[in-house]
């Protein structure tokens, strides 16, 4: 029997960002009714909404929109800054989530929380959904606290864990797009990158495609979303540079210990996506090469 693609009403907090923006455009393309918000970076397709001040008069009226889903993409994602600004990190990751949980409960909407592999310690990644968590950083601890809060308060909620996201976005601030932009400007650069931090980079567009299926099928619980790449930062940068023979970028491969960042990193991080692929065996994730070929074509 053919599956009926029911339309869905979705509110996306943080649609001016990388993940939220890609979800916004993809959900629209499949005919869903979507409203996406910005906080400080207004765009021509977003409405204002501050998750920290739910009753702010400028906030979009989510209650009146009455969405089936609230997709929460807002967070303070600057890992080292969070380490030194614990209260701000708590507010922007945990408290903002609590505020949206309360709202979702009061209007009967489901909540989708975007989690991270930073909830693991990186001793033996890539990780599956049920692997034991042991966050090393304030950012990781707050992301873990927020996702546990969501799962405990709204049993039918969805937690999508992702890591190392790249892709097209308005500000091109992700690592891959920043590097490509700088190469295209002909900038000379010397990058010191860690050779010992491994993760599973994933295209934000693929996150949107995968999430749309999970929402369409009203899935619940935790899902890891990752591509087939398992790369450290040096390998990722070299992969990008290999598509731009004219580049003026020099890479120095160093250890995380030498960088000595304020926040500890999960070294063997990354996520296994077996659970998702067992339920959607024909789904194809693109890898970094596919993305670069697409950018260049």
The C-alpha angle 110, 165, 250, rounded to 5 degrees, equals 170
C-beta closer to ligand NAP: residue 239 or 247:
239
- Based on CB atoms, which residue is closest to ligand NAP, 51 or 232? 51
**Which pairs count as long-range contacts for 128-133, CB under 8 Å and 24+ apart, including other chains?**
128/224, 128/272, 128/274, 128/275, 129/161, 129/221, 129/222, 129/223, 129/224, 129/275
CB of 213 to ligand NAP, least distance (A): 18
Asked if 125 and 169 count as a contact pair (C-beta separation under 8 A), the reply is no
* Residue 117 C-beta: closest distance to ligand NAP, Å: 7
Nearest-approach distance from CB 286 to ligand NAP, in angstroms = 16
Of 247 and 270, which has the nearer Cβ to ligand NAP?
Answer: 270
| CB nearer ligand NAP, residue 31 or residue 181 | 181
Closest to 180 in 3D by CA, of 232, 231, 244: 244
Give 52 or 248: the residue with its C-beta nearer to ligand NAP.
Answer: 52
Query: Closest CB to ligand NAP belongs to which residue?
Result: 17
Please say which residue, 163 or 212, places its beta carbon nearer to ligand NAP: 163
Angle (nearest 5°) at CA 235 between 136 and 129? 40
Distance CA 288, CA 232 (A): 13
Alpha carbon separation from 238 to 159, 253, 286 (Å, rounded) = 32, 11, 18
Residue whose entry in the numeric block shows the structure tokens 């099928």: 217
Cβ closest to ligand NAP, residue 141 vs residue 164 = 164
12 neighbors 36 (Cβ within 8 angstroms): yes
- CA–chain centroid gap for 10, Å, is 17
**Smaller CB distance to ligand NAP: residue 96 or 183?**
96
Q: Which residues of this chain interact with ligand NAP, rule CB under 6 A?
A: 13-14, 16-20, 38-41, 49-52, 73-75, 77, 92, 96, 114, 116, 162-165
Least distance from ligand NAP to the Cβ atom of residue 3, Å: 28
Q: How far is the CB of 11 from ligand NAP (least distance, A)?
A: 11
**DSSP string spanning 144-193?**
HHHHHHHHHH-TT-EEEEE-SEE---TT--SHHHHHHHHHHTT-EEEEEE
Nearest distance in Å: CB 63, ligand NAP: 16
Q: Which two tokens stand for residue 150?
A: 């969501």
Phi, psi of 62 (to 5 degrees): -65, -35
CA atoms within 13 A on the CB side of 216: 16
Tell me how far, at minimum, the Cβ of 129 lies from ligand NAP, in Å.
Answer: 15
Q: Characterize 48-65 residue by residue with b for buried, 16 or more Cβ atoms within 10 angstroms of its Cβ, and e for exposed.
A: ebbbeeeeeeeebebeeb
CB of 58 to ligand NAP, least distance (A): 12
């Amino acid at each position: 029997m053919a599956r009926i693609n029911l339309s869905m009403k979705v509110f996306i907090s943080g649609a001016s960002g990388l993940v939220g923006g890609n979800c916004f455009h993809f959900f629209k393309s499949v005919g869903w009714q979507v409203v996406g918000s910005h906080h400080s970076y207004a765009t021509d397709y977003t409405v204002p909404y501050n998750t920290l001040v739910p009753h702010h008069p400028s906030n979009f009226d989510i209650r009146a929109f009455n969405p089936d889903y609230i997709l929460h993409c807002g967070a303070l994602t600057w890992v080292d800054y969070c380490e030194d600004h614990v209260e701000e990190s708590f507010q922007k990751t945990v408290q903002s989530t609590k505020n949206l949980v309360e709202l979702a409960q009061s209007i009967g909407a489901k909540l989708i929380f975007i989690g991270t592999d930073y909830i693991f310690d990186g001793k033996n990644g890539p990780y599956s959904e049920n692997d034991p968590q042991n966050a090393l950083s304030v950012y990781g601890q707050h992301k873990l606290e927020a996702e546990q809060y969501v799962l405990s308060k709204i049993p039918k909620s969805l937690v999508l864990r992702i890591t190392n996201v790249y892709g097209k976005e308005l500000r091109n601030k992700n690592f891959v797009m920043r590097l490509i932009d700088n190469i295209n400007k002909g900038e000379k650069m010397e990058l010191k990158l860690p050779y010992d931090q491994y993760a599973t980079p994933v295209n934000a567009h693929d996150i949107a495609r995968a999430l749309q299926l999970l929402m369409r099928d009203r899935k619940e619980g935790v899902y890891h979303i990752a591509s087939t790449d398992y790369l450290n930062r040096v390998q990722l940068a070299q992969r990008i540079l290999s598509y731009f023979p004219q580049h003026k970028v020099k890479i120095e491969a160093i250890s995380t210990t030498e960088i000595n960042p304020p926040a500890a990193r999960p070294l063997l991080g990354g996520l296994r996506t077996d659970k998702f692929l067992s339920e959607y065996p024909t789904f194809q994730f693109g890898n970094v090469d596919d993305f670069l070929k697409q950018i260049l074509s």
